[in-house]
Amino acid sequence: MLFEVWAPNAQQVEISIEGRSETLRPDPSRAGWWQADLPAADGARYAYVLDGGPALPDPRSRRQPTGPDGPSAVVDHDLFRWQTPWPGRGLPGAILYELHVGTFTPEGTFDAAIERLPYLARLGITHVQIMPVCPFPGTNGWGYEGVSLWAVHEPYGGPEAMKRFVDAAHQHSLGVVLDVVHNHLGPSGNHLPKFGPYFTDLHNTPWGDAVNLDAPGSDEVRDFLIGSALSWLRDYRLDGLRLDAVHALVDTRALHFLEELSTAVDGLSAALGRPLFLIGESDLNDPRTTAPREAGGLGLHAQWSDDFHHAVHTAVTGEAQGYYADFAAAGPGAVAKVLTHGFFHNGSWSSFRGRHHGRPLDTSEVSGHRLLAYSQTHDQIGNRATGDRLTLDQLGAAAALVLTAPFTPMLFMGEEWGAATPWQFFTDHGDPELAAAITRGRRREFASHGWAEEDVPDPQDPATRDNSVLDWAEPEKAAHRELLDWYRALIALRRAEPALTDPRLDTVAATAGGRTLVVARGPFRVLVNFSDTAAQMPLDVPCQVVLARPECKLLPGPAVRLPARGAAVLRAESVTVEA
């Protein structure tokens, strides 16, 4: 087996493997690379030693059996026997379900999560989106402080368990998307700087020095990140990747990293003969994120739409603090704007930022499936002080909008039954000083918003993770079962009716009035009453009720009487639909 490592500043590189030590030789064809061809079987443990220093895990380690600081292990991906031929499943027409392996079940493992895949298939989900799985300190964490970007967190089951999960998902016709983090690594277990200039102080991010995408040595760093992305898609048979906070990838080079990455992924897709896609999390509201490369864009296939979330969240909750302020001021009109324009801030004034923000989408050209719509995500729940979720009534109204939108819908685990369990921020750092600093920082952050210290869960307390585990007995309780039936009905309707998956934004009409909203999607009219009192809502054409929660009443006019916090989907009795 050929062992290779990039260590441009080292004078000598050794490998400690299975109790013996070998010296690597410089690669004459690649500056800064060292290599050795050595016998090694699957599972063989090894570490690199630079200039007589401590043993370090391989930056491209495929497995970390004892955690981020321990030795690496060889993984022979060819040994796994896949059971399911998989042609792939693309993003258009998809319904995603975001889940965190560590709290999706009490066991917090891939194998335990496999048992719940039939439920997701029956719900009507098409793709499972897994939160980050790269190794991180301890057992429990969100995954955004991962290191070893080619490996799988061992407490989840390691590489073999992840492959079993993906194979089982494919057996149920479920695609799998993985959330990957290229913008930073965790503060603990990150040994990359000892090998080379993986980071640069030319730019700063919320997590410290930026990943080196444009300074000397950045060719190798970019190759490292792209190689990791391709490995997930190829070796684990994933269908797509969600890229965390791409706006924090500072890159001044003429060829942007994301353009280079999307080119490589499209190339792999062609080679494998199955669709692959990239979904970016971006705060920029920049159409170029998902515009084709040949049109001057970065070529990502979709991006999260926080504007959609903020508009719906303020409409159903009435919250108006921080970045919600502009959306709350617009009322249901914010939802109407997002449904018809894609972005709310499309060059408009952002009071939160103190400047204008965003750029308009060309709604005659941009397909709506390139924006993800959601009312809850790990971020929007977990970054609240207590990790509280929307209520049953709030979710019912929000779901009607999410699941009939021209965008790609995404649910967060448990929302479909209105999970009463919170989803809180939790960590498991063994370093006492780092652990204490995280707890202090979390409580200090929310103290500035009026929260008492004792009311903010301690991220390091094991109970914080335990409180965040889904309660799978809840869906059997009456109120939760009723909401689950509503989600199932909406998903079934969306999948059955082409008008509801039509991604053309310029065919959507949305009218806000007071605390109500009417959305026209082909022959369908989606009505939501965000107020605490019943509302009489006029219709442009006579309709019949398809779905309603709670029951609504058709009136002459035509009009509908919709109860407080109600939502309904109606079908026009006669309407001409543009081809």
The reply to whether 88 falls in a domain is no
- What is the mean pLDDT of the segment spanning 49-60? 98
Chain segment 448-476, per-residue pLDDT in tens: 788 998 899 999 999 999 999 999 999 99
Do 432 and 286 lie in one domain? The reply is no
- Identity (one letter) of the amino acid at 552? C
Residue 578 has pLDDT above 70, yes or no: no
Percent of the chain whose pLDDT exceeds 70: 99
β pairing state of 33-37 and 96-99: unpaired
- Identity (one letter) of the amino acid at 551? E
The span from the CA of 491 to the CA of 569, in Å, is 12
The pLDDT of residue 95? 98
Do 318 and 245 lie in one domain? The reply is yes
Active site annotation includes 244: yes
The reply to whether 520 falls in a domain is yes
Tracing tokens 């009136």 back to the chain, one arrives at 555
The span from the CA of 50 to the CA of 54, in Å, is 7
Question: Could you tell me the two tokens for 350?
Answer: 């952002």
The reply to whether 579 falls in a domain is no
Closest to 143 in 3D by CA, of 418, 301, 379, 306? 379
Do 421 and 559 lie in one domain? The reply is no
The pLDDT of residue 579? 44
The reply to whether 77 falls in a domain is no
Chain segment 529-567, per-residue pLDDT in tens: 999 999 999 999 999 999 999 999 999 999 999 999 999
Q: Which of 181-185, 226-230, 237-241 has the lowest mean pLDDT?
A: 181-185
What are the residues facing 6 on neighbouring strands?
33
- In DSSP notation, 129-195 reads EEPP-S--SSS---STT---TTS--GGGTHHHHHHHHHHHHHHTT-EEEEEE--S---SSS--HHHH
Q: Which of 40-54, 62-76, 196-210 has the lowest mean pLDDT?
A: 196-210
- Say which of 98, 220, 239, 244 is annotated catalytic: 244
Chain segment 162-184, per-residue pLDDT in tens: 999 999 999 999 999 999 999 99
Do 23 and 146 lie in one domain? The reply is no
The reply to whether 400 falls in a domain is yes
Do 181 and 35 lie in one domain? The reply is no
Do 330 and 359 lie in one domain? The reply is yes
Residue 577 has pLDDT above 60, yes or no: no
Do 422 and 560 lie in one domain? The reply is no
- Identity (one letter) of the amino acid at 196? G
Backbone angles phi, psi at 25, to 5 degrees: -110, 150
Backbone angles phi, psi at 128, to 5 degrees: -95, 125
Do 206 and 338 lie in one domain? The reply is yes
Closest to 486 in 3D by CA, of 394, 560, 564? 394
Do 244 and 386 lie in one domain? The reply is yes
- Identity (one letter) of the amino acid at 170? H
Domain count, the chain: 4
The pLDDT of residue 442? 92
Percent of the chain whose pLDDT exceeds 90: 94
The pLDDT of residue 411? 98
Do 471 and 538 lie in one domain? The reply is no
Q: Is 292 helix (H, G, I), strand (E, B) or coil?
A: coil
Determine contact, residues 564/550, Cβ cutoff 8 Å.
Answer: no
The pLDDT of residue 204? 83
The reply to whether 500 falls in a domain is no
CATH number of domain containing 51? 2.60.40.10
The pLDDT of residue 206? 83
More confident residue, 467 or 186: 467
pTM (two decimals)? 0.97
Chain segment 306-365, per-residue pLDDT in tens: 999 999 999 999 999 999 999 999 999 999 999 999 999 999 999 999 999 999 999 999
The reply to whether 192 falls in a domain is yes
Question: Could you tell me the two tokens for 332?
Answer: 């249901």
The span from the CA of 427 to the CA of 34, in Å, is 36
The span from the CA of 407 to the CA of 309, in Å, is 12
The span from the CA of 23 to the CA of 253, in Å, is 36
Determine contact, residues 124/72, Cβ cutoff 8 Å.
Answer: no
CATH number of domain containing 515? 2.60.40.1180
Do 351 and 455 lie in one domain? The reply is no
State how far Cα 301 lies from the chain centre: 14
The pLDDT of residue 575? 55
Do 222 and 362 lie in one domain? The reply is yes
The span from the CA of 315 to the CA of 337, in Å, is 13
Write out the residue range of the structural domain in which residue 44 sits.
2-56
Prior bond of 550 cis (ω within 30°): yes
Strands of 374-470, DSSP E: 408-412
Active site annotation includes 294: no
| Helices H / strands E in the chain, number of each | 16, 28
**pLDDT mean across residues, the chain:** 96
β pairing state of 96-99 and 2-6: unpaired
Residue 507 has pLDDT above 80, yes or no: yes
Tracing tokens 């909406």 back to the chain, one arrives at 490
Residue 221 has pLDDT above 80, yes or no: yes
| DSSP tag of 366 | S
CATH number of domain containing 217? 3.20.20.80
The reply to whether 331 falls in a domain is yes
- Say which of 69, 259, 281, 458 is annotated catalytic: 281
The pLDDT of residue 188? 87
Closest to 462 in 3D by CA, of 440, 429, 498, 432? 429
